[in-house]
A and B are shown apart, each in its own frame.
Chain A
Amino acid sequence: MAVVTVSGQPGCRTGEVARLAAQRLGFTHLGAERLDALLAEEFGPVVERAARTWPDMAASILLRLATTQHLVVGVDGAEEVFRGFPALLRVRVVAPANRRTGNLMLDDGLNRVEARRALAERDRESAALRKARFGRSTAAPESFDLVLNAATIDSAHMAELIAQAAGQQGLLEHGFLSPAAEAQLQFQIRLRLARHGIQPHGRAALPKVQFGHPSEEIFANLLDFYRIPWEYEPRSFPIAWDENGNVIESFTPDFYLPESNLYVELTTMKQSLVTRKNRKIRLLREIYPHVNIQVFYQKDIMDLVMKYGLAPQAQPQP
């Protein structure tokens, strides 16, 4: 099991650093929102984000994931969850307040006064969350193996440095956590959680991305290249029901881009064969008018292929 944790001060673009590092290393990236969703799936809809039991609940899920994949965990405080584990690289991203304010201005479209206020608020929230979860409001410097300054190093460069550090620490040579070791650790964790009356509600799993078509992988690479966060097939939309209200037809767009709140559907079928898919998209737009969806047809994808010089060329689906 190899794990890289990336914590950071608010406004340091820590999430972007973690995502790019995962891309470089070929590890699975897990951000705060995704981990929250997994916690809710495993422990029920009411998960106290700030509880003292959070580290054990998070560890329970992360350890299971570590039996099948290496992880980059971009969650503030994650370094505390894995304390004492081998094959661990703990990274902290810091920057002066001016730089962090500037990042919030750019990323959230705020003016300087608003950004300063937002940063102060996020600093307060971050400190309160750490205090509630780990008993102290600040991150201890000795908890980290690598500290990076976002004022002088951009996100892509930081990701490169993390990948190099991970390589030098031998993380890439480690195998996954064995099921026996996981079971032993889980037993101890579940025992501690049981003392607080917490029992798993379900069994959260992180599906590995398996693209249905090479063009989808190319598109994902293109989004990664331009540092645009994406999720693959995160949601299915029911579009037809029988007389008893059972769903008989659904539509699952290929990508969701959270920054743009946009779903993207790629279709590499010939134009003459897309009628059925067009019908589904039309129904989706009628039933869910608030959902934004962009459809890329074969000719659009071929144009992207020509524009960006992508190769190998995607083959049309049957």
Chain B
Amino acid sequence: MKVPALPVIDRVLFTEEQVQRRIREVAGEISDRYRDGNLKMIGVLKGSVFFLTALARELTIPVKVDFLSISPFSNHTRAPGVVRISKDLDESIEGEDVLLVEDIVDTGFTARYLLQTLAGRGPNSIALCTMLDRPARRIVPLKIDFKCFEIPDRFIIGCGLDYKQLYRNLNFLAVLKPD
């Protein structure tokens, strides 16, 4: 595969083929786990859209899909407030086997908040799937049920991950060039 020569890219971490292969493997694990279940994948906007779509296509079991987003942190105001869901799910998750799908888990702040919030809505089960796991930055302990890649402590773009809202559409994962 030819990688576009973007000046922001330091190096390619995982090629498109590597990403696709690993997503297929993880999709197999998920299909096995939820073969007799009632799977609903919940994506966190915007970053997880690309990963969730690719993952869902590789599943061999029926799946429902829903999305939510959370309010962004801003340090502009003196009291930054607290995190809240800014775009909620369209349907209830009561009795469903929920799989929260993230593009990346690093500090664990977002995943912890979402898992706690969703768990309070009466799902049959709840699990976490992430494309990338960066444990070097973890602050909040989390159990990750499915993951594609564990990555080093670098800023990554592509496959939904952005830098200043750009490069989400790259179909490979790359390390951003340091300033």
Contact across chains for A228 and B79 when beta carbons are under 8 A apart: no
Measured between beta carbons, the chain B residues less than 8 angstroms from A260 are 139-141
How distant is A130 from chain B, measured CB to nearest CB, in Å? Answer: 28
Q: Does A71 have its Cβ within 8 Å of any Cβ on chain B?
A: no
Contact of A264 among B72, B113, B139, B163 (CB under 8 A): B139
**Which listed segment binds B: A131-139, A219-227, A240-248?**
A219-227
How distant is B79 from chain A, measured CB to nearest CB, in Å? Answer: 6
Contact across chains for B75 and A20 when beta carbons are under 8 A apart: no
Contact across chains for B80 and A221 when beta carbons are under 8 A apart: yes
Contact across chains for A106 and B120 when beta carbons are under 8 A apart: yes
Contact of B109 among A20, A221, A226, A300 (CB under 8 A): A226
Q: Does A26 have its Cβ within 8 Å of any Cβ on chain B?
A: yes
How distant is A113 from chain B, measured CB to nearest CB, in Å? Answer: 17
Measured between beta carbons, the chain A residues less than 8 angstroms from B164 are 306
Contact across chains for A106 and B75 when beta carbons are under 8 A apart: no
Given contacts A156-B84, A299-B178, contact A24 B139 (CB under 8 A): no
Contact across chains for B79 and A308 when beta carbons are under 8 A apart: no
Q: Does A23 have its Cβ within 8 Å of any Cβ on chain B?
A: yes
How distant is B44 from chain A, measured CB to nearest CB, in Å? Answer: 13
A interface, how many residues as a size bin? 20 to 34
Q: Does A287 have its Cβ within 8 Å of any Cβ on chain B?
A: no
Given contacts A24-B79, A106-B120, contact A225 B73 (CB under 8 A): yes
Measured CB to CB, the nearest residue on chain A to B116 is A106
Measured between beta carbons, the chain A residues less than 8 angstroms from B178 are 299
Residues of chain B in range 46-104 having any CB-CB distance to chain A below 8 Å: 72-76, 78-84
How distant is A48 from chain B, measured CB to nearest CB, in Å? Answer: 35
Measured CB to CB, the nearest residue on chain A to B71 is A225
Q: Does B35 have its Cβ within 8 Å of any Cβ on chain A?
A: no
Contact across chains for A306 and B79 when beta carbons are under 8 A apart: no
Q: In the complex the two chains form, what is the Cα distance from A224 to B81 in whole Å?
A: 8
Measured between beta carbons, the chain B residues less than 8 angstroms from A156 are 81-82, 84
Given contacts A26-B79, A221-B80, A226-B83, contact A294 B74 (CB under 8 A): no
Measured between beta carbons, the chain B residues less than 8 angstroms from A312 are 75
Q: Does A197 have its Cβ within 8 Å of any Cβ on chain B?
A: no
Contact across chains for A310 and B139 when beta carbons are under 8 A apart: no
Given contacts A23-B79, A227-B83, A228-B109, contact A306 B155 (CB under 8 A): yes
Contact across chains for B84 and A300 when beta carbons are under 8 A apart: no
Contact across chains for B79 and A227 when beta carbons are under 8 A apart: no
Given contacts A300-B137, A309-B72, contact A224 B120 (CB under 8 A): no
Q: In the complex the two chains form, what is the Cα distance from A24 to B109 in whole Å?
A: 20
- In order of increasing CB-CB distance, the 9 nearest A-B pairs are A226-B109, A156-B82, A310-B75, A225-B73, A308-B73, A221-B80, A225-B80, A303-B155, A218-B75
Chain A residues within 8 Å of B, Cβ to Cβ:
20, 23-24, 26, 102, 106, 156, 159, 218, 221-222, 224-228, 257, 259-260, 262, 264, 294, 296, 299-300, 303-304, 306-312
Chain B residues within 8 Å of A, Cβ to Cβ:
72-76, 78-84, 106-107, 109-110, 112-113, 116, 119-120, 137-141, 153, 155, 163-164, 178
12 pairs, A vs B, C-beta closer than 8 Å: A106-B120, A156-B81, A218-B75, A222-B80, A225-B81, A226-B82, A264-B139, A294-B139, A299-B153, A299-B178, A309-B72, A309-B73
